[in-house]
Structure 1
Amino acid sequence: MKVALLIHAHTNPEQLARLVSRLRHPHVDIFINVDGKVNIQLFKNVIENVYFLDDRVEVVWGRFSQLQQILNSFNEIADTKVPYSHILFISGLDYPIVPMSEIVEFLYNNPNKSYIDYFKLGDDDWSNLMRKRFEYWFFLPENDIRNNHIIKKILKKVGFKRKYPFPEVYYGSCWFTLSMEAVNYLLDYTGKNPNILDFFKHTGCSDELYIQSVLLNSPLKKDMVKEIYRFFDWGDKGKSPKILTSEDFPQIEVSKAWFARKLDINIDSQLMDMLDKLNAEKQ
């Protein structure tokens, strides 16, 4: 059994090189997709024996490019025809809390399960935020009449809302571990339903809606486990989790997470040292 470990990166080549060195395992192939805005050679200069993906896009937070990059990466990995059991998806700012051998063994024992963060749309604050992201058009061309503020007011006044293209709305974090069966289903569905993908091109943060909605409205729902094994700190309630430091280590150590997110070697490299030591003790 082999696992495809996918990393999306956009900064800190040296930190990514350190991360990759901690992820190596005989049953893991590492794939890296570097943001199209960034000079990929800076990463290739310091990281060897990984697969750098070719289908890159310039990613802008909140826009469809985030989802497009994920789908591009999944397609390239699927095209290798290697029978991976899962794609484990992390960012270049994550760092392992447990040895890769522990993760590989876990996935080996759960070959059909996917580990994904998801919530069904309700009436809570997060749901209301997500609802706004798809009920009206986002990111239209400047000359599109629907961008006109008067038109927007009229649409809202008459109660116009875009109809969501799935029976039920699901959303969640874009960091997950999907079985290859789930990945192939997602790619097949995407290829056969370009009109639905077009809907998400004008949706805010579509990467936090599309994949959950495809998989949780599918026959594979029974294999979706609501757990991603990531340690986050959303203490400031911002759009992004805070940068973790060595002060966060006690909480990280007792968590059941596989990865801590997010770390920055330029802010606190000591936390990485502490996690390396913890990994060595568990090995």
Structure 2
Amino acid sequence: MTIHYIILAHKNPEQLERMYQRLNAPWVKFYIHVDRKVSILPFQSLLNKYENAYFLNDDSRENGTWGDIGIVKGTINALRIAVGKDNPGYYVLLSGQDYPLQKNETIKDIFRQNPEIDYITSYPLPHSSLDQGGIPRIEKYKVNKSDKRGHFLFLPSVYEKEFYSLETAGKINFLRKNNQYGDILRTFKRRRFPHYLKPYSGSQWWAMKEESIRYILNFLDVNPDYLKYHTYSLLPDEMFFQSIIQANGYKTKIESSKTYVNWEKTSGPLPVTFELNDFKELSIASKNHLFARKFDIYKDREILDEIDKKLLK
């Protein structure tokens, strides 16, 4: 069995190489998508020497703006390349700021012993954990104002009462001033989630068996409008794959994601960037998770040293 790591990277090449070295094994392959907005050269200079590390070329690289469809497209591009290698196994989506909490042999054994399971956190929309149940993400047009994180606006259609408000007038005026007339015209079409699926949401990070990956890619070939619809969704990376896997007619056993992320800390930016004083939390998380995010070696390198010494030794 081959473990295919799909990695979305945008910073810290040295940290990515360190993660590669911890996850590398004879049964592992890496498919690395580097955000189109950054130079790929620093990443290639460190990882091109490894025969099982494949970089997506410029034609397959996407703009990784937060909450945008580019992240999903980059993932799909990497999956198509990985599946084309025809090495049966599990497919694991990681970011370049992830790190393992378990040894390689343990990771392999868990996937090998549970070949019927897709580890992808998913719950139906609307959901109480999300603002307004998450419905604006799928029924309003999300239009970027810039590439900055969170710099977007929600636009209702002309068929919604909310459209006829001073707030919407201000948004329309902003788009007009920036010559985004195509986005204005979109409001003449009501936006609804594709009728052939029910909307689900959940964590972006997952691990799925090959049968499910092939099902997803075939689904996209048959339903190209699904990807096009999500061009105007907020955070499609947290809905796109969940909704397909939960489709009527596809039977699979689903369990929660194996990547640990802390979204609950009351202070500081979220998700938490783990530091040395978070080791106890990560040690407990390692009992049910295989990976964690996120880390930053320029903020705290010692937490990775501690994981190496205490969990991966």
Q: Hey, what does 1:52 align to over in structure 2?
A: 55
Tell me the C-alpha RMSD between the 2 structures. 2.4
Can you list the C-alpha shifts for 1:46-76, whole angstroms capped at 9, x where unaligned? 1231111221112111111111111111111
Q: Determine whether 1:132 maps to 2:164.
A: no
CA distance in 2, matches of 1:191, 1:80: 19
In the alignment, residue 40 of structure 1 is paired with which amino acid?
I
CA distance in 1, matches of 2:127, 2:32: 37
1:25 deviates by 1.0
In the alignment, residue 213 of structure 1 is paired with which amino acid?
S
Match of 2:202 among 172, 185, 198: 172
Q: Hey, what does 1:274 align to over in structure 2?
A: 306
Q: Hey, what does 1:181 align to over in structure 2?
A: 211
Q: Determine whether 1:229 maps to 2:238.
A: no
Q: Hey, what does 1:254 align to over in structure 2?
A: 284
Q: Determine helix, strand or coil for the equivalent of 1:200.
A: helix
Identity of aligned residues (%): 28
Q: Determine whether 1:75 maps to 2:80.
A: yes
Can you list the C-alpha shifts for 1:94-133, whole angstroms capped at 9, x where unaligned? 1111111100111111123210011111351416252101
Q: TM-score normalised to the size of structure 2?
A: 0.80
1:154 deviates by 4.4
1:138 deviates by 2.2
Distance 1:171 1:91, change over 3 A: same
Distance 1:158 1:13, change over 3 A: closer
Q: Which runs of 5+ in 2 are unaligned?
A: 146-152, 164-188
1:229 deviates by 1.8
Q: Determine helix, strand or coil for the equivalent of 1:201.
A: helix
Distance 1:184 1:131, change over 3 A: same
1:37 deviates by 1.5
Q: Hey, what does 1:145 align to over in structure 2?
A: none
CA distance in 2, matches of 1:231, 1:101: 19
1:196 deviates by 2.2
Task: Please show how residues 203-242 of structure 1 align to structure 2 within 5 Å.
Answer: 203-225=233-255, 227-234=256-263, 235-236=265-266, 240-242=270-272
Q: TM-score normalised to the size of structure 1?
A: 0.88
Task: Please show how residues 46-195 of structure 1 align to structure 2 within 5 Å.
Answer: 46-47=46-47, 48-49=49-50, 50-54=53-57, 55-83=60-88, 85-126=89-130, 128-139=132-143, 152=156, 154-157=158-161, 162-165=191-194, 166-195=196-225
CA distance in 2, matches of 1:200, 1:131: 13
Matched residue pairs, number? 271
Q: Which runs of 5+ in 1 are unaligned?
A: 142-148
Greater shift in the superposed pair: 43-52 or 12-21? 43-52
Q: Determine helix, strand or coil for the equivalent of 2:99.
A: strand
Q: Determine helix, strand or coil for the equivalent of 1:46.
A: helix
In the alignment, residue 53 of structure 1 is paired with which amino acid?
L
